[in-house]
Amino acid sequence: MKKIFLITILTMALACTACSSSKKPLNNTPATAEPENTDSSVAETPKGEDIEGKEELPENDSDNKEEGDLIDEDSKKQEQEEPSNDNSDSDFQVLDDLSDDLSSFQLQIDDEIYSFPMKYSDFIAHGFELEDDDESKKVEATHYIFSDFNRGDLQISTSIVNLDDKEQPISECYIGSIEIDKGYRENGKGAFIALPKGIIFNKSTLNDIKAAYGEPKMLLEYSSYTTYQYEFKVYQRIEIEIGTESGVVQRINVMNLTGK
């Protein structure tokens, strides 16, 4: 009888032990774990997304941010075609009036010289047409927006900057930067584009660039292109891109958003 009683007690004890080992606490989060962020209002804006398509001109610029912006474009560049035509047979030549100083922010297109920033009205007088935006669209004081222009087969990207201390329509603003990129469907085919000291779009090589301007402040290397960036002041720089396969200039960006 005692044996049966002891066996019964042992059986019940083992059953209780098994039941207790199968249960887990409701909060199994380790004490060192980071608390979960339940505040839906603190959401990071996706990189590169700009709700209103405009930028403010801050007092200080960030090299790291701008480098990141360029890195974001790498995947886009990989899908673009390499340049195939050149400007060796162009009827135009580098004009004597084109400055030898890169910080003049001058650019020659065909037989005309552009200096940036330049008035919007002066820019469109050269035959460029605004692609999407309405000229009456307002730009906030000391802000700029991105807009594209077309002239025949030539498409360019620009920054339209308001240098005034009050809101102005696009038509009263300035073209603060101009970018010509060969990667977009043979953009610039047949156009003669030159920088100071005779650096020619879709023709000049890396050796030509270094001979003209020396080593750049910033060098960004990617699989399909390398960007040489010459900086002067905040929001004042020249970018020249060399295609890896072509070995010649395939993108030029002249930026002067301050006018100082």
Q: Give the domain ranges of the chain.
A: 54-256
pTM, 2 dp: 0.68
The pLDDT, as a whole number, for residue 91 is 78
% of the chain exceeding 90 in pLDDT? 55
For the ranges 68-82, 128-142, 223-237, the lowest mean pLDDT is seen at 68-82
Mean pLDDT of 167-188: 85
What average pLDDT does the chain have? 76
The pLDDT, as a whole number, for residue 182 is 80
Categorize the per-residue pLDDT at 163 as very low, low, confident or very high, splitting at 50, 70 and 90: very high
pLDDT of residue 81 exceeding 50? no
Are 203 and 87 contacting, i.e. CB atoms less than 8 angstroms apart? Answer: yes
The pLDDT, as a whole number, for residue 58 is 54
Mean pLDDT of 157-170: 96
d(CA 106, CA 73): 25
Mean pLDDT of 38-50: 35
% of the chain exceeding 70 in pLDDT? 62
CB count within 10 Å of CB 146 equals 15
Q: Any bridge partners for residue 109, and if so which?
A: 112, 193
Mean pLDDT of 188-214: 92
